[in-house]
Chains A and B, each alone.
Chain A
Amino acid sequence: MKILVCVKQVPDTEEIKIDPVTGSLIREGVPAILNPLDACALEAAVRLKEAYGGTVTVLSMGPPQAKEALKQCVAVGADEAVLITDRAFKDADTLATSYALSMTARQLDAFDLIVCGKHTLDGETGQVGPQIAEHLDWSQVTHVMDMKVEEGKLLAVREMEEGREVVEAMLPCVVSVTKTLYKPRYPTIKSKLAAGKKEILTLSADEIENLDKERIGMAGSRTKVAKSFTAPTGQAGMIIQEETAEASGRKLAQILLEAKLV
């Protein structure tokens, strides 16, 4: 089974700030991490590889530093890593991003499955995975928390508002993964050392066959960010601490009643 996992290096949200003047994310000095749901997507893919054999390739679009995130992926089970990096990709929205990723996927191999994290910490659109499926004209399953392959078909467990749903899908297929039932594994000392030495394949826009330059980067973007701002954070909470737990409970009930919340 040939699996492609699309990942993104994102700023650690714990540290994220927005420039009040330009409205863009301030990335300087903010530690970059592998998007957490992409780590889940990779773990799910590596588990499939371990169960059925095959390979896992990771693909990212981003600046050269994104190689670090790809090396992290290699340390936890990815066999190959590819970075598409070019000024021409800059300021891409989800449509331009998914187009570039899907064209690269076509060129790299005949994949059976493409796995993405459901959304990224910085953009939070959740659009790239489904759009890749549309570009490739493949079936797609979203909100997946676990999957397996039976008789050449994918069986995916979807997380629903109320309960779970098992969906059968034909391969090839694009899956977007939410928080998986299992945690992403830690690398080992050995795998970390080996990943550090791993050659990351880097492709520029010119090196991707049949890539329509009008459909990538800012030129290919159909959306523009009009404004971004730091949302007001929630108000400080209230701590109720009476003499006894019972008194605390009564006080809480009284406050909730007064606020007409119960």
Chain B
Amino acid sequence: MAIILTEEQKELKALIREFMENEVIPFAQEYDERGEFPEEILKKAHEMGLGCMNIEEEFGGSGLNNETMAVLIEEMAYGEAGVSTSLTVSGLAYECIRDFGSQEQKKLIGEAIVAGKYISFALTEADSGSNAGAARCGYVADGDEYVINGSKAFITNASYADYHLVFATKDPALGVRGLSAFIVANDTPGVSRGKKENKMGLRLSNTSDLHFDNVRVPKDMLVGKEGLGFKMAMTSLDVGRILIGAAATGIAQRALDESVKYAKQRSPFGQPIATHQAVQFIIADMAIEIEAARLLTKNAAILKDQGMRISKEAAMAKSFASDVAMRATTDAVQILGGYGYSKEYPVEKLMRDAKVYQIFEGTNQIQRMVIAGAVLKE
């Protein structure tokens, strides 16, 4: 890796590598086959503070900036992408609350995350993925409370979350201006979890539906102001996209490393396939693209840390890195041939894991709309 890292970043990266190598990678395949949420592993990760990296120190978190988080999340996803997802999503919900919420809300959610609890980010609905403004899950004000009714779909960590950050609309006709965000405790009457998705990849992460049936939320659990929900969600997603870029880069790097290791050993014609130009060119392309993905991600992270608007750069990092991850993992399966297609080797899992990175946190087509929109406005 040619990117300059600080001593701190190097040490923390080494710590995460050690953890992933000892505690996660040896067990990943079994959990993947069962599609099981690795609660015990995640508990250990939480104890190390891997789930609260962006939470301020005043609430017990590590207070890391996005640049350092990107380095660490890349390393986590290099080991296991589902684990990195499970550990990142609560922090994503916190981003909204940090920027728009009250001090009490920050404390409530910040401390919950530090204690190892999960917070879901409940935006997507079954009939409105790419267009958050088309949400149907609604709320009405009723005295000192809001009452929420409706459902959310494909929500990460939903089955394990203690709190949900729920985006609901006052009136679907208002579009994006109708959305507001609420902190909803999972044990509130009327909250229920639907079916768990049986996914192609990222099978160590939990994804489920959420249902809200006359769920009464106290007024002080409205985050920011009514009607700001869409703006909040986009702010959170900008950071989320940087971290997705980092994770996708990690998956791609693992694909490259597994490819190189195999290509140096496999010798069907008497010498390792790594000596064949046909294989070398694939490896070179992977290396070029991974380096570029890492740089785009780092750039977006640094800009965000400096307080700049980063919608365009975050979208670039996310879409490019996830496309790179898809290509690199597909090529890794190709280089490993029959073994690549077999579950005996880790690359088919990488390929299945990579796919969703082109889809979630805004599909790569939506990212291109964001990028084009920004470029055309410049």
A residues with a Cβ closer than 8 A to B are: 186-190, 192-193, 196
Chain B residues with Cβ below 8 Å from A186 are 15, 18-19, 44, 47-48
Chain A residues with Cβ below 8 Å from B49 are 188-190
Chain A residues with Cβ below 8 Å from B53 are 189
Chain A residues with Cβ below 8 Å from B15 are 186-187, 189, 192
Instruction: Compute how far the CA of A103 lies from the CA of B62 in the bound complex, rounded to whole angstroms.
Output: 39
**Chain B nearest CB: distance from A47 CB in Å?**
15
Interface code B1-38, partner A: CB below 8 Å = 1, 0 otherwise? 00000011001100100110000000000000000000
24 contacts between A and B (CB under 8 A): A186-B15, A186-B19, A186-B44, A186-B47, A186-B48, A187-B15, A188-B47, A188-B48, A188-B62, A189-B15, A189-B49, A189-B53, A189-B62, A189-B64, A190-B49, A190-B57, A192-B11, A192-B12, A192-B15, A193-B8, A193-B12, A193-B62, A196-B7, A196-B11
> B314 near A: Cβ within 8 Å?
no
Q: Which residue of B lies closest to A188 (CB)?
A: B49
Interface code B219-263, partner A: CB below 8 Å = 1, 0 otherwise? 000000000000000000000000000000000000000000000
B48/A189 in contact, CB under 8 A: yes
B8/A196 in contact, CB under 8 A: yes
B19/A189 in contact, CB under 8 A: no
> B50 near A: Cβ within 8 Å?
yes
Chain B residues with Cβ below 8 Å from A190 are 49, 57, 62
A187/B48 in contact, CB under 8 A: yes
**Chain B nearest CB: distance from A50 CB in Å?**
14
Instruction: Compute how far the CA of A192 lies from the CA of B18 in the bound complex, rounded to whole angstroms.
Output: 13
B residues with a Cβ closer than 8 A to A are: 7-8, 11-12, 15, 18-19, 44, 47-50, 53, 57, 62, 64
A189/B7 in contact, CB under 8 A: no
Chain A residues with Cβ below 8 Å from B48 are 186-189
Instruction: Compute how far the CA of A186 lies from the CA of B12 in the bound complex, rounded to whole angstroms.
Output: 12
Instruction: Compute how far the CA of A186 lies from the CA of B50 in the bound complex, rounded to whole angstroms.
Output: 12
The binding surface of chain B is classed by DSSP as helix
Instruction: Compute how far the CA of A192 lies from the CA of B17 in the bound complex, rounded to whole angstroms.
Output: 14
**Chain A nearest CB: distance from B75 CB in Å?**
12
Q: Which residue of A lies closest to B47 (CB)?
A: A188
Chain B residues with Cβ below 8 Å from A192 are 11-12, 15
**Chain B nearest CB: distance from A115 CB in Å?**
23
Chain B residues with Cβ below 8 Å from A187 are 15, 48
Q: Which residue of A lies closest to B18 (CB)?
A: A186
Chain B residues with Cβ below 8 Å from A196 are 7-8, 11
Instruction: Compute how far the CA of A196 lies from the CA of B18 in the bound complex, rounded to whole angstroms.
Output: 18
Q: Which residue of B lies closest to A197 (CB)?
A: B8
Instruction: Compute how far the CA of A192 lies from the CA of B12 in the bound complex, rounded to whole angstroms.
Output: 7
**Chain A nearest CB: distance from B26 CB in Å?**
14
Instruction: Compute how far the CA of A95 lies from the CA of B57 in the bound complex, rounded to whole angstroms.
Output: 46
Q: Which residue of B lies closest to A183 (CB)?
A: B22
Chain A residues with Cβ below 8 Å from B19 are 186
**Chain A nearest CB: distance from B83 CB in Å?**
15
Instruction: Compute how far the CA of A139 lies from the CA of B19 in the bound complex, rounded to whole angstroms.
Output: 38
Chain A residues with Cβ below 8 Å from B44 are 186
Instruction: Compute how far the CA of A187 lies from the CA of B14 in the bound complex, rounded to whole angstroms.
Output: 11
Q: Which residue of B lies closest to A185 (CB)?
A: B47
Instruction: Compute how far the CA of A50 lies from the CA of B57 in the bound complex, rounded to whole angstroms.
Output: 23
Instruction: Compute how far the CA of A186 lies from the CA of B19 in the bound complex, rounded to whole angstroms.
Output: 8
Instruction: Compute how far the CA of A190 lies from the CA of B8 in the bound complex, rounded to whole angstroms.
Output: 11
Instruction: Compute how far the CA of A193 lies from the CA of B64 in the bound complex, rounded to whole angstroms.
Output: 10
Interface pairs A-B: 4 shortest CB-CB = A189-B49, A189-B62, A188-B49, A188-B48
Instruction: Compute how far the CA of A189 lies from the CA of B47 in the bound complex, rounded to whole angstroms.
Output: 9
Instruction: Compute how far the CA of A83 lies from the CA of B73 in the bound complex, rounded to whole angstroms.
Output: 34
Q: Which residue of A lies closest to B64 (CB)?
A: A189
**Chain B nearest CB: distance from A228 CB in Å?**
30
Instruction: Compute how far the CA of A163 lies from the CA of B50 in the bound complex, rounded to whole angstroms.
Output: 39
Chain B residues with Cβ below 8 Å from A193 are 8, 12, 62
17 extra A-B contacts, CB within 8 A, seeds A186-B15, A187-B48, A189-B53: A186-B18, A186-B47, A188-B47, A189-B12, A189-B15, A189-B48, A189-B49, A189-B50, A189-B62, A190-B49, A192-B11, A192-B15, A193-B8, A193-B62, A196-B7, A196-B8, A196-B11
Instruction: Compute how far the CA of A193 lies from the CA of B13 in the bound complex, rounded to whole angstroms.
Output: 12
Q: Which of A187, A189, A192, A193 has the most CB of B within 10 A?
A: A189
Chain A residues with Cβ below 8 Å from B62 are 188-190, 193
Instruction: Compute how far the CA of A186 lies from the CA of B49 in the bound complex, rounded to whole angstroms.
Output: 11
**Chain B nearest CB: distance from A262 CB in Å?**
33
Chain A residues with Cβ below 8 Å from B8 are 193, 196
Chain B residues with Cβ below 8 Å from A189 are 12, 15, 48-50, 53, 62, 64
Chain A residues with Cβ below 8 Å from B11 are 192, 196
**Chain A nearest CB: distance from B9 CB in Å?**
11
Instruction: Compute how far the CA of A190 lies from the CA of B50 in the bound complex, rounded to whole angstroms.
Output: 10
Chain A residues with Cβ below 8 Å from B57 are 190
Instruction: Compute how far the CA of A159 lies from the CA of B57 in the bound complex, rounded to whole angstroms.
Output: 42
Instruction: Compute how far the CA of A190 lies from the CA of B11 in the bound complex, rounded to whole angstroms.
Output: 12
Instruction: Compute how far the CA of A190 lies from the CA of B56 in the bound complex, rounded to whole angstroms.
Output: 11
Instruction: Compute how far the CA of A187 lies from the CA of B8 in the bound complex, rounded to whole angstroms.
Output: 14
Instruction: Compute how far the CA of A189 lies from the CA of B19 in the bound complex, rounded to whole angstroms.
Output: 12
Instruction: Compute how far the CA of A187 lies from the CA of B48 in the bound complex, rounded to whole angstroms.
Output: 6
